[in-house]
Structure formats: C-alpha cells, structure tokens
Structure 1
Amino acid sequence: MPPRTKRRTSIADVAKLAEVSVGTVSNVLNRPDRVSPATRERVESAIAELSFVRNGSARQLRAGTITTAGAIVLDIANPFFTDVARGIEDRLDEAGYTLMLASSDEDPEREARYLRLFEEHGVQGVMVVPSGPEIEHLLTLRERGLRIVLLDRPSPDPSVSSVAVDDRAGAAAAARHLLDLGHEHLAFLNGPHTIRQCADRSAGLRDALSEAGLDVDEALEEITITALNADGGQAGTEQILAMDARPTATMCVNDLTALGALRTLRAAEVPVPSGMAVVGYDDVTFAGELATPLTSVRQPMHRLGHRAADLLLAESEAPEQVVFQPELVVRESTTGTG
C-alpha cells in the first residue's frame, strides 16, 4: 500500500511553530514591510521547516469547496495532448471538478513553476507528463497532500498511479509493416531519449529490425530533432534527402513531425510512398485527411485522459498502472500508388 498522504500544512501551523499570530504570518506573506526583521526571519524559518505553500484560492474557499485538478502536458499545441486533455476535462466535469491546464515544453524548470502555481491555488491533485525521467519532486508533492497521477508514462514507482500506452509495441508494429512492404533501410525522426516516449519508440523500432535479422546500425538512420512538430519534421527530412544512401521509408515520432516530412518531400518532388514511405505516430484527427492520408500508430487519446482523471478521483489509495495497447492504422502514405 502507498504511504498515506499528509494533511496540507496550514497558516495556523506556521503561526504555532513561529509563536506568532496567524495575522503576523499573513503579513509576512503579503506585507512583509509591516513585520520586524527578527519576527519575519522566525516566520520564514517556520515556513521552510514545514514546507508551507500558501493557498492562492483561500478567498474562494471561504465561499464553498473548490474542486480543482491540474494537468501538465508537454505541449498542448500538439493535437495528441489536446485530445488527452479533452478526455481529462470530460471526466472531471462529470465529477464536478474544474481543470487547470499547462504545457511544460519539455522544460523541468517550467514544469516545476506550474506545479508550484497549482499547489498555491489549492488543486486537489495533478496529472503530469514528466519532462524528465525523475519523479522525486512529484513524490514530495504527494507527501504534502496532493494526489499524483503520471500521464502518458508508466510509473517508475509502484506507489504512484499512471496511465500510458505501450509505445515500444506501437513502434515495433509500424516497423514490421514497413519491413513487410520490403523496406530494409529506414529513417527515424525522433526526439531526445530523455523523453520516455522517444526512448520507447526507438527501442520498439530496433526490436523489429533485430527480429528481422537486420544489422540495426546499417538498417536504421535515427535523427534527433529538437522540435517535435512540423518544423522539426522538415529539418529532419532535409537531412534524409541529403544522404548519399537515402532510406526508402521514414518513421516519425509523432504525426506533427510526419506532417513536416510530407511537406518537405512534396516540395522536393519526392513521391510518397514510391519515393519515400512515411509513418506517423498518434493518429490525430488530421492524419487521415491529408492529401496523402498518413499511416499512423493510433493511441486512445481520449481514453488515456479519461482514465487518468479516473485514477485521480479514485477514493482508493491502492495505486494502479494502466497500459493501453496502440493500433497501427494503414493508409496511403505507405501503401498508395504515389
């Protein structure tokens, strides 16, 4: 069983430890010039010792119970996370909760700022796509009373609930599809392996190539792009087109990247799929509506968000690690006549 969460430290707790009134603590927080330096130092020491975080929604709480949850994703501009967020919002709305949503842009410091902001505003829990491999900062928040659910990532700690998709299996299925079509020299436009999804998708692709008896180092050109969007896909595809021994198929870490790849291939008058097959990942809404409909690995985005919110709202303290299976959706970008 996971450790029982602690009651959130209150302003009264700080006042008791510092041996001052609640009003004095309030002045230190809001009007420090009204408090003597010695008293202010004593209060600030108590705040640090108790890890006190002011509640930015206190005024609203006086009027009734606030039921708010937070979610931090990597990039809300990515349609994948937009659909995940809609799943979260729909489930929270059923339970009478509101949602505070933010993008970390894969920046741990930005993620930390939003976590702090959410805590100050009194959220009951946070669903978060961690921007790095470590989650100690999230465990600290849980100890202070927040419910934590990892989103789009398996939990490295069995005491923390998580909702994820088997990205290794999804990438392997996509690679096997390309191998079945006769492609034995692949490019992979991927993000840094510090992002769990990127590492898992790379591993799945390599699994499939190894299973096929190919030399992975010869069969795969993995290109790390800094932006997991259409511009990143364009930059990576330009590198592929400049290769002397050009791969015959390109896998992309997500559909936005694939959109950039298709755009660049069209500009270079490389036909898809006869000149270059392209596979995306996520199967966002536009994937099947492009001029060349995109083969993609479908993730259950709405269900992912809905289930994460379920876990956050669950009264049981028993953690759950939920893993969905992806589905390969084959379209003309790999099997068409272009």
Structure 2
Amino acid sequence: MGTVTIQQVAAEAHVSPTTVSNYLTGRSERMQPETRDRVRAAIDRLGYRPNRAARALRTGKTHSIGLVVPSVANPFWGTFANELERASIAAGYSVLLGNTERDAARELRYVEDLWDAGVRSIVLGTSLPSLEHLQPFLDRGLRLITFDRPVQPTDPPSVMSVSVDNSVGGYLGAAHLLGLGHTRVSFVAGAMQSLNRTARYRGFCSALTEAGLDPAEQAQWSGTDAVPAGAAEAAEIGREAITAMLAGPRPPTAVMAINDMTALGVCSGIRALGLSIGADVSVVGFDDIVLATLCDPPLTTVRQPLPDLARLALREAVGDDDDAATRGGSVLLRPELVVRGSTGPVPEVAIGRRSGPATRVVAGDPRLVS
C-alpha cells in the first residue's frame, strides 16, 4: 500500500484538505464534534501518518517542542521532563531536551539549536531574573513558556509562565513548623540568586512574622556560589548547613529547605550528628520528589503538582498561534503541604543544652547568617 495523503483522508472523511490539516496541527477546537470524529476515523481507517519532515520544510516548523532544564539528573527536573513528554506524546508531539546547568550561555545555545531545527515553542526551566539573552528569538516569534519562574515586568508580553505559587509554598512549610511549637526555625537554601528561591523565602518570612517572630533572628544558610543544578550539590549544601547551624549559639529545632534534595542533605547531616529527624530536629522540603517517600523517616514537603503543571505547559506550547488569549501572562497553581514523619513537636530539651556530637562541630561558617 502506498503512502496515504491528506487528500485521501479528506476524501474519506468528506471534508477539505484544509480541515484535515487543521485537525493535525491542533486547530480543531472550532470544528464541529462530528467533523473531528470523521477526520479521526478516516485517519485510523487509512493508517495515515503525517510526513513531519515535509511539513517542517514547508512551514519552517516541526511537530516538536523544546524542553530546556537545569539538569535531569535532579529528580525534580527529571520527573517534570517525563511528565511533559508523556503529555506531549498523547497530543502527538515529541520533546527535544537540553540541560543547561543553570548557565545563561547554554540556555541561549540550546534555544538557537532548537530554532534552527524548526522548533518554535520551548518550555524553559529557568529562574533567571532577565530573559534578555533570548530577546532576538522572542522578537522572531519564539513561543516561550517559563516553568517555575513568574513573568517579570521586563519580560516581553508574549512570554508565558507556568508555576506553583512559591511564596505560598514557603508560607505553608513555615506555618506547619510553627504550628508544632517550633520557635527556632531555620531556612536552608544555598545561593539565593533565583526568583523561585526568593519567593519561597519570602513566604517563609511572612509566616514567621505573623507568628510574632523576627525572621532576621532566625538562622539562614545563604551560600555564595551559583544555584546548584545537580542533586548531589544540593544535598551537600544541606549537610554543610545543618552541621554549622547545630553548632551555633541558637541551634534550630526545625529547618525548612529550599527543595527536597537539600532537605535530604539536611537529614543526612542530622543523622551524622547522632540526632533524630522529626524528634530532635524537624525538616520540611519542597517539591515532593519520589525520594521524599523512600527516606527514613519519609519527608514532610510542599508538593508541586507536576502532572498538572506539565499539561498546562504543553497547552501553552502548542496553542493556536492566532489565539492571543494564550500568549503572555502567568498561570499559578497552589502547592500542597504533605505531612510525613520528618516533622514533629518541638523537643522538650533543646539541642544546645545536650552533650554529644552536635557540640563538637566548629561553627563560624560565613554562609550562616543569624
């Protein structure tokens, strides 16, 4: 059997070739339901498969979207990539992936390569305050959906953002610890150079202020290096931070970490000091990666609904080019606090009054601010 053409599908469905083309390119929302059903049935009966190479040559576009993230070695980004690919395949699209290690130059290089390959929609996992380095491609019509980065006043009006409300997430984590009776609550983040991190810390501070606590009097671990892209680096930040904090003059009884990998590093450091997670020191993460349920005790965390976020990102990436309502602005989903065994009531005896491994650690790391 020879190659089936759009014209043959159109004749089988009793519609025009243009109608078939609109169906194949995702412009079917204005069709009558029975028309869509006839086209779909004709495609199935004839076994039609679009010639995407020919379509790319004809239109300058591919039936693919780009996904550019810091690193899929981080379970959060790997899971998001998997969810986006799953949704894309179901919609008839493929995903081309690039890892940037949070480097603006690498972001630009991947966008250049994807554009040259005919990709006109890119989901960008970035938290850089400015998109100026991508402006030439935005001017040429690139559809850019930033993930986990809110739209900024300086962004071009076409940029779309899909994210959870990070400020709400930070508030939920801190409020949970305060509700358990903790008043020495620390925040561990490493570098605070990204928009999502500052939003999470802002929410954290808001909860403390409402409870009558001064955030400036609570220990905060603020690294001077770039935001880590990989899981191992984030975990090491957590280990270093809790070691220094528990050796300080006011060791915390509870810690909120910027993400789950950092929180798991905090847990590792607590165990190394001979202390109990959830009993001596409570720990809250952010993201709800799969490892959060596999550690002992399981990690209390702020969940990002990654399947929903992936579907929203895909919707914006493949929406009708002529529909201005889909271009520009932010979609924010509310995160959810998931309480597990890593958090508990404030301990009766503060760590600073105990003897044991925690008192033998040398303090004074410049990244510890209190």
User: TM-score over 0.5 for the alignment?
Assistant: yes
Structure 1 residues 336 and 293, CA gap change in structure 2 (3 angstroms): farther
Matching residue's letter, 2:335: P
**Is 2:330 the counterpart of 1:321?**
yes
Q: Any residues of structure 2 matched to 1:1-338 within 5 Å, and which?
A: 61=56, 66-156=62-152, 157=155, 158-224=157-223, 226=225, 227=228, 229-315=234-320, 316-318=323-325, 319=327, 320-335=329-344
Which stretch shows the higher mean deviation, 59-68 or 307-316? 59-68
- Mapped to 1, the partners of 2:105 and 2:158 lie a distance apart of 24
CA drift at 1:213: 1.1
Question: Normalised by the size of structure 2, how large is the TM-score?
Answer: 0.71
Does the CA contact (< 8 Å) of 1:300 and 1:326 recur in 2? yes
Q: State the Cα distance separating 1:278 from its structure 2 match.
A: 0.6
- In the aligned structure 2, how far is the partner of 1:336 from the partner of 1:327? 20
Q: Give 3-state SS (helix, strand or coil) of 2:342's partner.
A: helix
Q: Secondary structure at the match of 1:332?
A: coil
Structure 2: unaligned runs, 5 residues or longer: 1-51, 348-370
| CA–CA distance in structure 2, aligned partners of residues 99 and 251 of structure 1 | 34
Deviation for aligned residue 1:131:
4.5
Q: Deviations for 1:68-97, whole angstroms, at most 9, x for unmatched residues? A: 211111221121112211222122212322
How many angstroms apart in 1 are the aligned matches of 2:268 and 2:224?
Answer: 16
- Tell me the number of residue pairs that the alignment of Structure 1 and Structure 2 aligns: 282
Aligned-pair identity (%): 36
For residues 83 and 303 of structure 1, the distance between their equivalents in structure 2, rounded to whole angstroms, comes to 12
Greater mean deviation of Cα atoms: 258-267 or 314-323: 314-323
Paired residues of 1:231 and 1:257 also in contact (CA < 8 A): yes
Aligned-pair CA distance for 1:62: 5.1
CA RMSD, 1 decimal = 2.4
Name the aligned partner's letter for residue 304 of structure 2: Q
Structure 1 residue ranges without an equivalent (≥5): 1-56
Q: Are the structure 2 counterparts of residues 255 and 334 from structure 1 closer, same or farther at C-alpha, using a change threshold of 3 Å?
A: same
